[in-house]
């Protein structure tokens, strides 16, 4: 049975190296690739489910045109002719910027950049800025350290203390748990900060459950304790840090009692956390993406990052800040052809006018020209972006909606024309990662179904029909079968990285560092770590020093008295956002989202476990089955994201808000009430 090297391109932290067994033109089994030291321990259930996903009867395998409210199959000539007719009319009558191009991060790869290249050759489009996932934390890290990189995943095994702050890798980064286990077996301690008691906390020595959105207050109080105890690294601060004296003054007022009042934590618990930070070195602080999905989360992330900074933990084996490792982004951002921080500006061709966080409202607000058509690929924005009702309204006002998809998602169901997408086994590409330092080959191992065309081929065929200049096409696009030549051109500046080497297994990115910042060089304006950042004020209108502000929407906020509970919408183990959950292998594990609530919050509302309850606020409502959990903080409820509209999509209740920096989405600023269903 032939065995091929490939890699999972999904928007998941791990980006696993894989070995794929192929027989009879079909993928038969999937194994971990041992050469990827970050993920070689095993393949998650989602990865194993690719065997089913590739041949699922629900897969879209030919173009679908909506007629009289129902989809009917059409051939490619008709599909492409319809698209070209509409694009030609749109460009002539209203201008190319009336076309909205929405690309998300459902899969990673260098070939993703072909889409924007096509729309530039077309004459332009309107597109998004910002990102749903992690930009507030990216920008907070860049402002402080100058770059987003961290120690290799296996370096965690050298830490004496690991802090998971708002991160639940047992569900969202399962391979990190292997490296944590080795550290703990060697005597390390684990602290978990999370309003929920998750599986990741099962081996924790200390669990703190602050009120959601108050993490900056906790970090400021910890910094004060470390300063008072003289447990900061003065030599490191003097040599490499800007703004420590000002930061020392900032934290002076954050006593244990003040922080306890804000966070809802006992002062003794905060003090025990400070004891561990002060006595166990090296330590690694690992914040989760959910940590920066609040209105003021950029400043929160800066406050968290200040803790390893003042303790001199940056640039040490086993130490540091482990948030985003973009060392593989040697080609630019592999996840997104347009950098989202600093956000791109209009260039006369591409109108970057729609905030991803405010997708529906900003789509509706576009003028001169207004949006008339949309092209969506690698994403399912209707249930996944904030304010789902507004996103639905915006898409339904368009004259033409084209969605490129493998399955009939909520967004595809709203389309006028659905084009079948290739899967990861059907086209060769090169992918990076944002946790480990490997470049990997996503190798073509089987042929696609007869009527499935890779997106790059679709763009080439459209360009031919639209009469795009041939020389420009050959420069910027990829002809059918031309993927390898395109990739070789991209790899040419790095002779040590070839398709042949990548076909053998993962390759470390050029210049990859096992210990980030070991040279103590920080590409900030001052050349030092910046606790004081002038750019925070200049670019984002935020204070130069990190600090605490209450979230825009939280329990007790004016006008929200009727909604006393804070809703968290975390990722869930067997889905990558809205992907995978419909497969037969995975659906029985979590067929519907559950509403997790503390037993006392349920008792006072007359809600019993296993019954249905109504979760609602002024924006929407869901009927969900209740799960009682004494491990969740009272006053907090949790419903996982990633479910489709007919299952229970939590963004029916969310508001489209941006974070304080990075143009992220403040999903977790969301107050609700729960009542027993009649």
Given a cut of 50, whether residue 341 has pLDDT beyond it is: no
Backbone CA torsion sign across 540, 641, 435, 551: positive
Given a cut of 50, whether residue 334 has pLDDT beyond it is: no
Does 319 share its domain with 347?
Answer: no
Does 352 share its domain with 497?
Answer: yes
Residue 274's alpha-carbon distances to 180, 209, 269, 586, in angstroms, are 21, 15, 9, 41
What CATH number is attached to the domain comprising 659?
A: 2.40.40.20
Does 348 share its domain with 312?
Answer: no
Predicted confidence at residue 346, as pLDDT, reads 59
Does 180 share its domain with 291?
Answer: yes
Predicted confidence at residue 333, as pLDDT, reads 53
Given a cut of 80, whether residue 400 has pLDDT beyond it is: yes
Does 269 share its domain with 183?
Answer: yes
Does 501 share its domain with 524?
Answer: no
Does 347 share its domain with 478?
Answer: yes
Q: Which residue range is the domain that position 71 belongs to?
A: 64-130+343-508
Predicted confidence at residue 232, as pLDDT, reads 98
Does 232 share its domain with 276?
Answer: yes
Given a cut of 60, whether residue 655 has pLDDT beyond it is: yes
Predicted confidence at residue 555, as pLDDT, reads 64
pLDDT in tens, 582-606: 898 888 988 999 999 999 999 999 9
Domain count, the chain: 3
Residue 124 tokens read as 């332009």
User: Average pLDDT for residues 32-53, to the nearest whole number?
Assistant: 93
333/323 Cα distance (integer angstroms): 16
534/288 Cα distance (integer angstroms): 26
Cα 429-435-440 angle, rounded to 5 deg: 25
What CATH number is attached to the domain comprising 499?
A: 3.40.50.740
Predicted confidence at residue 561, as pLDDT, reads 85
Predicted confidence at residue 343, as pLDDT, reads 54
Does 113 share its domain with 184?
Answer: no
Decide if 409 is inside a domain.
yes
Between residues 39 and 556, which one has the greater pLDDT?
Answer: 39
Decide if 12 is inside a domain.
no
Decide if 362 is inside a domain.
yes
Least confident of 38-42, 58-62, 248-252, 272-276: 38-42
The pTM for the full model equals 0.95
Decide if 44 is inside a domain.
no
Does 197 share its domain with 303?
Answer: yes
Q: Where are the alpha helices (DSSP H) in 14-112?
A: 45-48, 50-53, 76-93
Q: Helix 267-279 vs helix 215-228: angle between axes, to the nearest 10 degrees?
A: 60
Decide if 400 is inside a domain.
yes
671/563 Cα distance (integer angstroms): 5
Does 120 share its domain with 156?
Answer: no
Given a cut of 70, whether residue 83 has pLDDT beyond it is: yes
Residue located via tokens 């900061």: 232
Decide if 55 is inside a domain.
no
Predicted confidence at residue 646, as pLDDT, reads 93
What CATH number is attached to the domain comprising 166?
A: 3.40.228.10
Contact predicate 665/385, CB 8 Å? yes
Buried b (16+ CB within 10 A) or exposed e, 452-469: bbbbbbbbbbbbebbebe
């Amino acid at each position: 049975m032939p065995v091929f090297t490939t890699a999972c391109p999904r928007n998941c932290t791990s980006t696993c190296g894989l070995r794929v067994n192929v027989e009879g033109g079909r993928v038969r089994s999937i194994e971990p690739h041992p050469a990827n030291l970050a993920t070689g321990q095993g393949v998650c259930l989602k990865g194993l489910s690719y065997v089913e996903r590739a041949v699922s009867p629900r897969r879209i395998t030919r173009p679908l045109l909506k007629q009289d409210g129902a989809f009917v199959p059409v051939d490619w000539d008709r599909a492409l002719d319809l698209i070209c007719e509409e694009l030609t009319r749109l460009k002539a009558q209203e201008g190319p910027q009336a076309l909205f191009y929405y690309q998300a991060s459902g899969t990673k790869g260098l070939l993703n950049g072909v889409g924007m290249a096509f729309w530039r050759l077309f004459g332009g489009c309107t597109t998004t800025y910002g990102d749903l996932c992690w930009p507030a934390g990216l920008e907070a890290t860049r402002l402080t350290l100058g770059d987003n990189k961290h120690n290799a995943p296996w370096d965690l095994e050298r830490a004496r203390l690991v802090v998971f702050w708002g991160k639940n890798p047992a569900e969202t980064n399962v391979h990190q748990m292997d490296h944590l286990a080795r550290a703990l077996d060697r005597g390390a301690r684990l602290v978990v900060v999370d309003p929920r008691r998750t599986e990741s906390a099962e081996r924790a020595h200390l669990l703190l459950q602050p009120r959601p959105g108050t993490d900056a207050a906790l970090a400021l109080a910890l910094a004060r304790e470390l300063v008072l105890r003289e447990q900061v690294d003065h030599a490191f601060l003097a040599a490499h840090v800007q703004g420590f004296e000002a930061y020392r003054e900032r934290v002076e007022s954050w006593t244990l009692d003040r922080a306890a009042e804000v966070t809802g934590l006992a002062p003794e618990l905060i003090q025990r956390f400070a004891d561990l930070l002060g006595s166990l070195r090296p330590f690694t602080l690992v914040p989760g993406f959910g940590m920066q999905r609040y209105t003021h989360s950029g400043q929160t992330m800066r406050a968290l990052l200040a803790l390893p900074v003042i303790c001199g933990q940056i640039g040490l084996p086993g130490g540091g800040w482990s948030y985003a490792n973009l060392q593989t982004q040697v080609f630019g951002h592999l996840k997104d052809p347009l950098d989202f921080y600093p956000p791109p500006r209009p260039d006369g061709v591409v109108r970057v006018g729609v905030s991803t966080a405010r997708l529906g409202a900003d789509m509706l607000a576009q003028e001169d020209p207004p949006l008339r058509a949309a092209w969506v690929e690698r994403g399912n924005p209707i249930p996944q972006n904030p304010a789902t009702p507004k996103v639905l309204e915006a898409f339904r006002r368009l004259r033409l909606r084209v969605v490129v998809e493998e399955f009939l998602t909520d967004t595809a169901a709203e389309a006028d024309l659905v084009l079948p997408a290739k899967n990861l086994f059907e086209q060769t590409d090169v992918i990076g990662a944002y946790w480990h330092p490997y470049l990997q080959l996503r190798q073509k191992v089987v042929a696609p179904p007869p009527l499935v065309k890779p997106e790059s081929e679709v763009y080439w065929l459209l360009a031919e029909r639209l009469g795009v200049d041939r020389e420009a096409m050959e420069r910027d696009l990829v002809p059918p079968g031309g993927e390898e030549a395109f990739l070789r051109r991209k790899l040419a500046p790095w002779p040590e990285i070839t398709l042949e080497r990548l076909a053998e297994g993962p390759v470390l990115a050029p210049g990859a560092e096992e210990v980030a910042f070991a040279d103590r060089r920080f590409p900030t304006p001052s050349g030092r770590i910046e606790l004081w950042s002038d750019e925070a004020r200049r670019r984002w209108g935020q204070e130069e020093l990190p600090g605490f502000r209450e979230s825009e929407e939280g329990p007790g906020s004016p006008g929200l008295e009727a909604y006393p509970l804070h809703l968290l919408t975390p990722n869930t183990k067997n889905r990558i956002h809205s992907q995978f959950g419909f497969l037969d292998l995975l659906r029985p594990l979590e067929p519907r989202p559950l509403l997790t609530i503390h037993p006392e919050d349920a008792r006072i509302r007359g809600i019993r476990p296993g019954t249905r309850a109504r979760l609602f606020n002024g924006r929407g409502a869901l009927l969900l089955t209740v799960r009682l959990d004494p491990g969740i903080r009272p006053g907090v409820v949790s419903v996982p994201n990633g479910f489709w509209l007919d299952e229970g999509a939590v963004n029916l209740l969310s508001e489209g808000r941006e974070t304080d920096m990075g143009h992220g989405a403040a999903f977790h600023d969301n107050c609700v009430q729960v009542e027993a269903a009649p």
